[in-house]
């Protein structure tokens, strides 16, 4: 299934943070991503199915930053006054139309510039979940989606790294090194 809900805009208020993830204030999404970017709180969600395949999305062509690039299942920002738990659940439903239990893995800070268009400068919380069920994809956010096995993903990252978002590549290296064995050993699924 697919739908076309509008679930974000450049005026929504994001949470500004320092290097230790302490809240400093708020700024619009548009302002946070302009120029070299302003450090703000974000999240990234990795979802595997029961066959240990990772859910990937190709970002919508209408996205300002990294349009039509492949990335992890879901990534976004908590909004002003919103807890991270509420934000990750909200966005998974908004983009992919499902919910599943999510486990916090780690957080990290990065900056990535998209030419002269703007930048991501985020303190990103990374989550993991498992799901085997139908998707109801939001076409305003996602151009394509697919599940991919770890070996096939590794080949793609070697042969065509330029087709993936920078944060996905950074997160995947860390997950592969520190968490992947435990994630793939997990057998619990929801769906």
Catalytic residue among 75, 95, 100, 120: 75
Catalytic residue among 32, 95, 120, 122: 122
**Helix (H), strand (E) at residue 30:** helix 29-33
Q: How far is CA 2 from CA 32, 96, 124, 141, in A?
A: 29, 9, 28, 11
Question: Does the annotation mark 120 as catalytic?
Answer: no
Residue 138 CB burial class (10 angstroms; 0-12, 13-18, ≥19) = buried
Question: Does the annotation mark 122 as catalytic?
Answer: yes
**Helix (H), strand (E) at residue 127:** strand 118-130
Residues identified as active-site:
75, 122
């Amino acid at each position: 299934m697919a739908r076309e809900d509008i679930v974000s805009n450049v005026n929504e208020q994001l949470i500004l943070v320092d290097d230790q993830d302490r809240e400093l204030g708020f700024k619009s999404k548009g302002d946070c991503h302009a120029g070299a970017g302003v450090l703000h709180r974000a999240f990234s969600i990795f979802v595997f199915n029961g066959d240990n395949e990772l859910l990937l999305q190709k970002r919508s062509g209408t996205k300002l930053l990294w349009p039509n690039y492949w990335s992890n299942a879901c990534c976004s920002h908590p909004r002003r006054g919103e807890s991270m738990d509420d934000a990750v659940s909200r966005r998974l439903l908004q983009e992919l139309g499902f919910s599943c239990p999510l486990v916090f893995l780690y957080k990290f800070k990065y900056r990535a510039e998209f030419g002269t268009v703007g930048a991501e400068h985020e303190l990103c919380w990374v989550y993991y979940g498992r799901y085997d069920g139908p998707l109801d994809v939001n076409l305003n956010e996602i151009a394509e989606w697919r599940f991919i096995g770890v070996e096939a993903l590794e080949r793609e990252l070697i042969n065509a790294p330029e087709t993936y978002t920078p944060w996905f590549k950074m997160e995947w290296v860390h997950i592969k090194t520190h968490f992947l064995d435990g994630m793939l050993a997990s057998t619990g699924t929801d769906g």
